[in-house]
Amino acid sequence: MGKVTGAIVFSLWAGAAWAEPVTIAALGDSLTQGYGLPVEQGFVPQLEAWLEDAGHDVDIINAGVSGDTTQGGLSRMAWTLTPEVDAMIVTLGGNDLLRGIDPEVSRANLEGIVQAANDAGVEVLVVGMEAPGNYGPDYKQAFDAMYPDIAQSFDTLYAESFFAGLGGPDTAPSDVQNFMQPDGIHPNAEGVARIVEGLAPSVQALIARVE
């Protein structure tokens, strides 16, 4: 093979390698999994479609498990972080809240998740959430703070709330009722679309880190 031909072949090979999609694992609970919705209307398919419409070549793995806690997410890291995964979105903690788990336990689990991603060379977007006031101010302060603290400690990207696209924690429940399923916890398809709109810029920043 001549030098010119070899250079052309190498150039084509390099271009093909660069053209591989960015693979993102979406680690979470029922909000990520798409509870109560047809598959194509869930969070992962809608986010993937939004990003592709914006010109990104992505493959998002749905690693959401309904009912999962931060401990469950940590226990799944070994098979979530497969070799093709370039980045990970972490949306966990809601079920810890429902069970009243000590925020220090949740923090340790989330730190374990992010550390495992770091060890695998995987970029991370930590998605936060806020505790309700009924657990008391100390619980709320400890829970709310763990997400930005972890993001800062591990130098990951951080999105303040999964529900930012619906207006955030200060929005009146009546204002988002039309975007929720009857249980009042999980978004309907239109709600997911708004959530994706709010979160997608952070995911774009995650893709930029990979590239």
Q: Which of these is catalytic: 29, 86, 161, 186?
A: 186
Q: Is 186 a catalytic residue?
A: yes
Contact of 70 with 97, CB cutoff 8 Å: no
- DSSP 3-state of 58: strand
Contact of 186 with 36, CB cutoff 8 Å: yes
Q: Which of these is catalytic: 68, 175, 183, 202?
A: 183
d(Cα 168, Cα 80) in Å, to the nearest integer? 29
Q: Which of these is catalytic: 11, 29, 30, 202?
A: 30
Q: Is 56 a catalytic residue?
A: no
Contact of 52 with 204, CB cutoff 8 Å: no
**Burial profile 3-17: b = 16 or more Cβ within 10 angstroms, e = fewer:** eeeeeeeeeeeeeee
Of the candidates 77, 38, 86, 82, the residue with the CA atom closest to the CA atom of residue 59:
86
Q: C-alpha angle with apex 43: 202 to 64, nearest 5 degrees?
A: 95
Q: Is 202 a catalytic residue?
A: no
Among all residues, which ones are annotated catalytic?
30, 183, 186
